[in-house]
Amino acid sequence: MRGLGELEAKVMDVLWSADEPLRVRDVLERLDTGRPLAYTTVMTVLDNLHGKEYVRRSKAGRAYEYTAAESREEVGARLLREVLYSSGDTEQVLLHFAESATPEESDILRRALRKGKSS
């Protein structure tokens, strides 16, 4: 899974906050980019996101309706894992991260490790 560009991330934010599948026009109306966007631009972004497997789509009449394929947290975890594996040295990347983690991040990691050991 590849990362998200700026506009892709904004489109995903719209989909993650939606309670129902959205058509291109719905996404366009909810996007807040600070600049006007063409319908075809949003349609292309959604098509690209579908190709990258970030979104699912289903036919609704003549149009598609889009939903996020994974939660924001699942995508974040997948991207972190991709960075780890692409580094060539997962252990060193993890150790460097642990050494540079904030106190809050360290607490989160400790809780997650304790939870994993008790499972």
Q: Which pLDDT band, with edges at 50, 70 and 90, does 69 fall under?
A: very high
> Which residue matches tokens 């190709």?
51
Sequence-separated (6 or more) residues with CB below 8 Å from residue 69: 53, 54, 55, 56
Percentage of the chain with pLDDT > 70? 97
- pLDDT tens across 17-55, in order? 999 999 999 999 999 888 999 999 999 999 999 999 999
Q: What is the pTM of this model?
A: 0.80
Q: Is 118 exposed, middle or buried (0-12, 13-18, 19+ CB in 10 A)?
A: exposed
Q: Which pLDDT band, with edges at 50, 70 and 90, does 107 fall under?
A: very high
pLDDT at position 105 over 80: yes
Across 3-18, average pLDDT: 94
